[in-house]
Every structure is written in C-alpha cells, then in structure tokens.
Amino acid sequence: MGKTKPGATTGVIRREDLAPHPFDEFRRWFQDAETRSGLVHPNAMCLSTVDPEGKPEGRIVLLKGLDERGFVFYTNFHSAKARALAANPSVALTFHWEARARQVRVQGEVEQVASEEADRYFATRPRGSRLGAWASEQSASLEDRDVLVARMREMEEKFAGEEITRPPFWGGYRVLPNALEFWQEGVDRLHDRFRYDRTDDERWVITRLSP
C-alpha cells in the first residue's frame, strides 16, 4: 500500500515550468496521459457532488470536452448526479494517472451545455450508445436486466432505419472552474503541488502547497 507503481514517473515541478493559464497546463498533462500512461480511458474523472440531503457522492464519468470555459461531460438529466447538480451546482473533479504519478483536482460550478452543442456530441456516439441513452432510465430502480434488454429492443424497433435524435432528458454539463490543483509525486514524499485560483478580475494566481 502507498508505493509507487513500477514504471510510474516521479518528478519535480518548478514554478517556472507551469503555464500561466491552468487549462493550458491541464492540456499538457492530459496529452502526456493520453500518449504515455497506457490507460484505456485517460479521460476518466471522479465527479464529486452533494445530494439534496447534503450527502457527498462520487462516481467516474468521462471528460468529453475542454474549451475556454471549462470541462464537459454528459449524462441523463433524470440521474442521481443530475438531481444532485440541480440541488447544488458546486462540484469537484479528480483525474488520477497512476502510471504518470500525477493527479489533477478541479473545483467549480456546473452549467448545462447548449442544446446545439449536446446535439453535435450525441451525433458522434455509436448507434448502440445512442439507443442506450433512450433505453436507460438512469438511476431508477430496475427489476432485472431483462427489462433493460427489452427496452433496448423497443428502441431498436422505434428507430429502425431512422436517425437517432438526442433524448430531451439527456445532455451535457460544463464545469466552470474556480480552482485547479496539479500534483506530481516526488521521491521520499516530497511531492509537488501547485494550485491555480481564479481571482475576481478573472486572473489566475498560482500557489505552491506543501505535500
């Protein structure tokens, strides 16, 4: 427990190594994870929310976009996570790339992406995934798997020979960050941690944190 995975890359980060804007730094780290980590899903991230009763919840979702505003993921608007987001839009994201001995934490608030943007993304999904979005009542109680399979067959028949449009109950969220932390494992627990905080005038201030 607690030991670095064989082959993981420890290292040292200096303040002068960092990009002035955290999104640029994140893109560097993400590209490194895509090309050098060997992970099937380097875009996997833990989305942490607080439900309507004030209980914290976390689950792994996939990052599907990063633009000048924030980090985008998609889900069913009837899901438990969507209910939590409606009750409290404050969220956290955590990326962990073990093979690179790196972690990135993001704090911010969510907004729904525009319908046109969600439509464009939905159209890129495999046909089966689009049918699945219609078939699944995400987070609702399910008697058994046969019920889900039957719903999938119903959707296959409904959309046979037709384009599968995005369900009105399915779409995206964009996390608008106010803070990002970059963590690099170091030798003898001398890890490097740098935090970017957004100021009221939309600048980013970088602070080194103790490991």
Active site residues: 189
Residue 148 contacts residue 137 (beta carbons within 8 Å): no
Query: What are the backbone angles phi and psi of residue 83, rounded to the nearest 5°?
Result: -65, -40
| H helix runs in the chain, sequence order | 22-36, 80-87, 115-124, 127-135, 145-158
> Which residues are within 8 A (CB) of 6 and not within 5 positions of it... i.e. 6 or more apart?
none
How far apart CA 29 and CA 32 sit, in angstroms, is 5
How far apart CA 12 and CA 208 sit, in angstroms, is 13
Closest CA to 9 of 28, 31, 32, 30: 32
Tokens of 54: 């004030």
- Residue 47's alpha-carbon distances to 111, 113, 118, 207, in angstroms, are 14, 17, 19, 24
103-124 as b/e: b if 16+ CB within 10 A: bbbbbbbbeebeeebbeebbee
